[in-house]
Amino acid sequence: MKLFLFATVPLFLISIVGMCNSKDENGSLNTNQPSAKDNFLKYCAGCHGSKMERFAGNTWEAFKAGGDLTGVMRSGLPELGMPSFEKAFTQAEMKAISDYILEMKDKKEAPVATKFPAVVRSKHQAFKIDTVAKGLDVPWGIAFLPDGDMLVTERSGQLFRFSGGKLKAIISGVPEVMAQGQGGLMDVVLHPKYKENGWIYISYSQKAPNGVGGNTAIFRTKLKNNQLVEKQEIFKAMPNSTKGVHFGCRMVFDDQGYLYFGVGERGEMSNAQTLTNHCGKIHRIFDDGRIPPDNPFVNTSGAMPTIYSYGHRNPQGIDIHPVSRRIYNNEHGPRGGDEINLVGKGNNYGWPVITYGINYDGTVLSKLTAKEGMEQPVFQWTPSIGPSSMKFVVGDRYPGWKGDILSGSLSFKYLERVHLEGGKVTEQEKLLENAGRVRHVTISPDGYIYVAVESPGIIVKLVPVN
């Protein structure tokens, strides 16, 4: 049973072409057009789910009540990142799309609980899957307390404490969260010296003071009697936006105690190339929010001094390489062109000037995939997998995967293992196929891999076996 109700909103309604039969220039009937089902699975399922499980909530019911989705296809939903398709389709094509979605949505069956095999044998590592938390909706972040308890953030704005696989407490004192679109209560990490200072860091989408729109913010706090106390805001991204997309949010501490984190460009592509705002950037600050004096743009007039790198679209994962100690991130491209990047001080990663992806309506965003002065990704996924968080495998519990990157796939519902050799990707493998939308992957202090999944909302632990 779910602990609460939270209406997710659609991410994007991506381009679909040729929904209905048409006539060629001679007036003859052309029957070679793809079917509505074929096109939905090809172009829409990545965001909305092959069984339409990610059309949901009050927004969907409002569309359904009207009995026709062509209006929203025609006008788009800019605040949710959905573009207009007025120029991409005829009215008849949009009507065919609408009819198919409405028909299939009515036939949608209730979700079935995920059943995992007793043992999973991957290329280099066998493991079993233990479910350690249930009843969640969209679990976003995981942090482990010294006593072994697990803090879990929910996008809707709740913070849970699990102990021994059971819900121990709902933590009070969480600030008001703007749970809009892709925003909400997001990542949670502990200070490297948590046992000494007790600081917990949480990222979330914060409403603007006037209540219109908002942006990513980070606060640090302490936990006392299952309540957040001594809350201190240490970062707030500007400008505020009414759009509900591309909040970024993942955080990581390096060996020197600097806090690195990403903020998406909030659906405004030009933000990523402009140093006068926080959006489309990776930032670096001290643990109390102060600005490191050697940040690359501290002395650049008008630039935001927290910026460490720029030209990012929506950075969703960030971690430190276990050997080189350099920073890597992954991020969402548009339709294609999801990336893994080696993050360098002051570097420009090109979005939207260079990209391996195209727009959601099929139009070209940029003809360039490379340009002098802009960094190339270590790796790019086309088609997009919808990467969520990422984590390097450390320790000795998974010798077959040691040093590899684990990255969640939201679109295709699996955990991907990526092997780096000499800074290049030499092997990929899909793990946990069809487990659900993998939102977060992390490693506990005792070296076990934990994975947070939505649809269904669970957290699983990968236990290696001989």
Give tens-digit pLDDT for 370-395.
999 999 999 999 999 999 999 999 99
Residue ending a domain, choose from 79, 106, 133: 106
With respect to residue 113, please indicate whether it lies within any of the assigned structural domains: no
Residue 440 among the catalytic residues: no
- Backbone torsion region of residue 419, taken as left when φ is above 0, otherwise alpha when ψ lies between -120 and 50, otherwise beta: beta
d(CA 422, CA 332): 24
Q: State the average pLDDT for the chain.
A: 87
With respect to residue 111, please indicate whether it lies within any of the assigned structural domains: no
Q: How far is CA 462 from the centre of its chain?
A: 21
Confidence category of residue 70, pLDDT binned at 50, 70, 90: confident
With respect to residue 414, please indicate whether it lies within any of the assigned structural domains: yes
For residues 335 and 296, state if they share a domain.
Answer: yes
pLDDT of res. 85: 76
With respect to residue 27, please indicate whether it lies within any of the assigned structural domains: yes
With respect to residue 2, please indicate whether it lies within any of the assigned structural domains: no
Contact of 333 with 356, CB cutoff 8 Å: yes
For residues 56 and 161, state if they share a domain.
Answer: no
For residues 431 and 325, state if they share a domain.
Answer: yes
* Close Cβ partners of 441 (under 8 Å, ≥ 6 residues apart): 388, 389, 390, 391, 406, 407, 408, 415, 449, 450, 451, 452
Query: Could you tell me the CATH number of the domain that includes residue 66?
Result: 1.10.760.10
For residues 148 and 222, state if they share a domain.
Answer: yes
63/408: higher pLDDT = 408
Query: Could you tell me the CATH number of the domain that includes residue 190?
Result: 2.120.10.30
* Close Cβ partners of 267 (under 8 Å, ≥ 6 residues apart): 78, 81, 241, 243, 245, 246
Residue 149 has pLDDT above 50, yes or no: yes
For residues 335 and 375, state if they share a domain.
Answer: yes
For residues 234 and 188, state if they share a domain.
Answer: yes
Domain extent for 36:
22-106
Residue ending a domain, choose from 81, 106, 131: 106
With respect to residue 275, please indicate whether it lies within any of the assigned structural domains: yes
For residues 49 and 184, state if they share a domain.
Answer: no
Total tally of structural domains belonging to the chain: 2
Say which of 48, 246, 332, 440 is annotated catalytic: 246
The side-by-side arrangement of strands in the sheet containing 120-121 is: 120-121, 126-136, 457-465, 449-454, 437-443
For residues 134 and 88, state if they share a domain.
Answer: no
With respect to residue 63, please indicate whether it lies within any of the assigned structural domains: yes
3-state secondary structure of 38: helix
pLDDT of res. 175: 97
Residue 406 has pLDDT above 60, yes or no: yes
pLDDT in tens, 16-31: 333 334 433 344 444 4
d(CA 2, CA 456): 10
- pTM, full prediction: 0.85
With respect to residue 250, please indicate whether it lies within any of the assigned structural domains: yes
For residues 95 and 202, state if they share a domain.
Answer: no
